[in-house]
Structure 1
């Protein structure tokens, strides 16, 4: 069987390093790119705002020093392909060589929100699926043997919400009609990207990644069962699972999706090697109260719930592809210990969890920076193992926190438990 099999539960991936029975530990560097600007909305490039372009060697070396076995790291598509079909690989070549020299496996985040500036209407552009697929193919072909692990698109559900439902990011659609249009375009791009990656590198591994969502309370803006089904739609579409009997079939066709479009997905199913779930204990779960929302602390209960839901639905290996906690360092250390203990317990119980990713590895800039004039420093969110600190010369120094040392200890202990070194 292959990853283009109709039955995902029968997939055999003997080449996949993430299915060797071990729990693999990684970190990720925040890599949101929304370069499009307009009145009242600045562009976002997290690498620029955190000075990763300046300190990338140090940042990658710190990730290796922390004991991370793999790194979730994204390519800024809008810079790599400044004009259609023209690629500038100079910086990416250097990064690839440095990760190779460090022995740091990279799960390449091909699309973390932003499209190139030349792609008008962004995800709604008629050529978007083929453009993003050609870009993914070019990356996979150039770095085969150095980078063989890919996420075609990060968090499609967040993309659909910000770009299609709430009109915050381009192409600024709104409502359910907008959500559906964006999701279908994203899913088609994900299918075509995976197809093109595997065409040039059949041994490539695919790690799907989407945000976890949980809700509590009454007064949800949509029926709760609809919201709960929507969080799985990107996988259901790309895996060819949406037929007449799918719970969201009336919702999709009611918002203009044609039977021909749905048939295309069924005729072109693709399957990830690993399903990645992004979970944050302090805000993944949302409670609705009197028409307003508030984040809910859900701890390991929410983590367990989301992982079990994905395992039960798809029968594939899962990974925690993002998790961390904001606030003081002791809180971060506590969540690291609690979440790892929960993962180990679930694995002992037979759940096929293959990866755990502390994300972000270092300080990030809140996305609200886009809609404000305050400097980036005032939007810093410290959730990582490394904190950024502005120095008098405007340099952002990298400061290892006690959570960094505790992460090293956790990785070493897990290595000892498996009989393998970290």
Structure 2
């Protein structure tokens, strides 16, 4: 049996994450979205990793741009990834490798709906795990599967541009199959590998939306329920899934191939994780503070009884608001740990400014879409370079982490 995850040593581990959304497919009105390109991480990655280490973070959530690493099927270009891996080893930064953050390679026709997607993504993951075994042993097979299914399968925002509940279910099933095969293939080549599942936190108030509240509240767990073999005909979403084409054979496959992550990560943002439905059916994000964080962590702990981590949290706006959230959220995490909940990690995400995803659907410059919610702010200079400016929140994070 593999040893327990290194995070599970009684301490609270501090991490930061680099925003790494990759949606490279373009069409009229839909620009390429590559956060590394837009934030100049490709040019400044050494500085960014050095800052992460300086912040006191013991681990880093960092993603591989699959579409660049495998530009043609089965052909890999590891040159940049080799340099990054060696640098993180030198810095002593553990990396939780984010293998899939929304986008597939350009050559994969119909993206996640391609019949070969689960095997394609698993082969890519296997290649990563084999090459970097001993340097990178921690993996997130796919970031925020339900967000992925919503954007790609329910709202037709990202490719393959499906819509409605039928699209959502089709995407979720494909993503979950890919997650299972990814974990299986990584474990086959690196027995020391550990897995951190990352779910987007979802909370709702009111019941005026197009989708019944009871479906929404179960749907947020669907990907993790599938990969752990928990979904059968008696599952609360059993009839919902069957009505959208999920067969008994599909569910049997997940039961027979069930995988379990070592750590369940929850992403939570106090100002927009919680959505309130109004009487007219309109929805708007609301502030939920630490109460929402506690609620989500309790829900996942009670449902899965697995070690937890806060894999993303931060607050946009002023540095003062970030400082306030850092203090409040860490106090809540520490309180939950004192009550016996195994919350092993706390991740400030993003580490530096990001470009709003709405940039993809607009023609304005990236600067007009910057959101400053990190420990480091990006500032455009006269030479067009994005300078990295440490904020007071950076120093506060250092102190909290014991740096």
Regarding TM over 0.5, the answer is yes
Deviation at 1:123, TM superposition (A): 0.3
One of 80, 84, 104 as aligned partner of 2:73:
84
TM-score, length-scaled by structure 1: 0.95
SS at match of 2:266: strand
1:235 aligns with 2:224: yes
- Structure 2 residue runs of 5 or longer lacking an equivalent are none
1:358 aligns with 2:358: no
- Other-structure match for 1:329: 319
- Other-structure match for 1:309: 299
SS at match of 1:133: helix
Q: Structure 1, residues 108-155: CA drift from partner, whole Å, max 9, x if none? A: 000000000000000000000000000000000000000000000000
Deviation at 1:14, TM superposition (A): 2.7
Deviation at 1:381, TM superposition (A): 0.2
- The aligned length equals 402
1:46 aligns with 2:35: yes
1:391 aligns with 2:384: no
TM-score, length-scaled by structure 2: 0.99
- Other-structure match for 2:24: 35
- Other-structure match for 1:8: none
Check 1:246–1:218 CA distance in 2 against 1; reply closer, same or farther (3 A cut).
Answer: closer
- Confirm or deny: 8 A CA contact 1:34 1:44 kept in the other structure: yes
Distance 2:55 2:137 in 1: 22
- Confirm or deny: 8 A CA contact 1:15 1:203 kept in the other structure: no
Distance 2:284 2:246 in 1: 33
Mean CA deviation greater in 319-328 or 217-226:
217-226
1:193 aligns with 2:176: no
One of 225, 239, 242 as aligned partner of 1:250:
239
- Other-structure match for 1:292: 282
- Confirm or deny: 8 A CA contact 2:4 2:262 kept in the other structure: no
Distance 2:255 2:321 in 1: 45
Give the ranges of 4+ consecutive aligned residues of structure 1 lying more than 6 Å apart after TM superposition: none
Distance 2:134 2:344 in 1: 21
Distance 2:258 2:281 in 1: 39
Distance 2:363 2:282 in 1: 26
Supply the RMSD in Å over aligned alpha carbons: 0.7
Distance 2:315 2:300 in 1: 22
One of 53, 67, 87 as aligned partner of 1:64:
53
- Other-structure match for 1:377: 367
